[in-house]
Structure 1
Amino acid sequence: MTEIYSKPRQQAEVAFGKNQSQFFERQRAIEDLNSIVVARNEKTLRLREARLAKERQDNMASATKPGPKRAKKSTGRSV
């Protein structure tokens, strides 16, 4: 079904096709950027949760472990 259109109709079809392809390219670019943002946010959340878990573990370990004994400082005066 090859139809022959008038010259203005052909020009309009070409212009419309270009406009549509630009629209779809723009949409694809936006989707790519959005997927990058989502992936970055998920990674940030995983890393934050891992850091907080490690901090909790370190705090629990330091709370149960006695601190180092400190030597008394001498004042340098003799009595």
Structure 2
Amino acid sequence: MNDEPKSAAELKEIRLNRKRAQEIEGVKAMAEIAAADIAIRQRTARLRALRLAKEAADRQNQPEPKAKARPKTAKRG
């Protein structure tokens, strides 16, 4: 590394470059978050549609209710 003291103009340029890099990283991070949010919403909508379709099919194809067993009578002896 260069241990020479830097001038005020060089320090200002370094800070400006660092700030630009941070802004670019921030934009990239926000884009990734937005993309993940969109993917989650699409997956949720697809799963909701599948669940609702399954529930509708289950309602149409309900099995016959089973006859209840008669209670046993107690033998008196």
Return the TM-score normalized by structure 1. Answer: 0.71
Count of matched residue positions in the alignment of Structure 1 and Structure 2: 70
Matched, 1:55 2:44: no
TM-score w.r.t. length of structure 2: 0.72
CA RMSD of aligned residues (A): 1.9
3-state SS of 2:61 partner: helix
What residue ranges of structure 1 are gaps of 5+ in the alignment?
1-6
In the alignment, residue 74 of structure 1 is paired with which amino acid?
K
What runs of 5+ residues in structure 2 fail to find an aligned partner?
Answer: 1-6
Displacement, 1:45?
A: 1.6
The one-letter amino acid of 1:24's match is: I
Amino acid at match of 1:26: G
1:12-23 residue pairs with structure 2 within 5 A?
12-23=12-23
For 1:45-65, what per-residue CA distance to the aligned partner results, in whole angstroms no more than 9, with x for missing partners?
A: 211111111011101100xx4
Q: What's the % identity of the aligned pairs?
A: 24
More helix by share: 1
Deviation at 1:13, TM superposition (A): 2.0
